[in-house]
Amino acid sequence: LHVVRLGRYAPSTTPISLAASKATTEAILSIGLVLGLLACTNGDTQGLPSFVAETGNDISNFFTSIGNAFNTNSIPMSTLLPAAGAILWTGWVTCAYTIYAQSFGQSRVSPTDANLIYTTQPLFSALFAWVILGETLGEAGYIGAALIGVALWLVTGTDDSTDKGEKEKLEFNVDDEQAFLPISFFKDKLQSAGMKSKASAIDVEKIKSTR
């Protein structure tokens, strides 16, 4: 659903705006979740699920230990600098950049093509694990990779071309179209095909009569 919705807004919005909105929303929700879990540990936790109380206690202990370590200067720079670098890498590259890259990419490809690309993620993960870490696949891994490749080949092989698929989406019949589709659906289809002048020619009453 996220890929489909992103495919709807990415072409009409800049990637940096989408990335900033998503990152801001994630940050607000994450901070709210942490504060909520911390608040749970300060009160009566008997009525809460055990994992909620345990997570809240772990977060509270973490902040307490970090605060004590800074107050006593017990964290050496040899530990602090790599930790800070890992935090910045996680925030800027693996989170912020990937959000931007996804928004940028989906402004140029359809949600269907984007999902096909995302399906290859396990293959690239295995490839980088082999190149960087020297990991190897077992028998089940090779079978899974082969199944992913065959599935992609079957899906992409059924489409003659992207242009043909887009053309077929636009060539709909008002009489035969499913009745639950809103009227705006037909106007949007005509307008997206550059036929704004024909949008007003749709017989609204005829569409309503088919519902």
Tell me the pLDDT band of 150, cut-offs 50, 70 and 90.
confident
Question: 111-142, pLDDT tens digit by residue?
Answer: 888 888 888 888 888 888 989 888 888 888 88
Tell me the pLDDT band of 169, cut-offs 50, 70 and 90.
very low
Give pLDDT, residue 45: 65
DSSP 61-99: HHHHHHHHHHHHT-S-HHHHHHHHHHHHHIIIIIIIIHH
pTM of the model: 0.55
CB 5 within 8 A of CB 22: no
Report d(CA 11, CA 14) in Å as an integer.
Answer: 8
Nearest CA among 123, 111, 114 for reference residue 149: 123
DSSP 103-128: HHHHTTS-HHHHHHHHHTHHHHHHHH
Tell me the pLDDT band of 198, cut-offs 50, 70 and 90.
very low
Q: Is 177 helix (H, G, I), strand (E, B) or coil?
A: coil
Report d(CA 7, CA 122) in Å as an integer.
Answer: 22
- Distances in whole angstroms, Cα of residue 159 to Cα of each of 109, 165, 188, 205, 207: 15, 7, 24, 35, 30
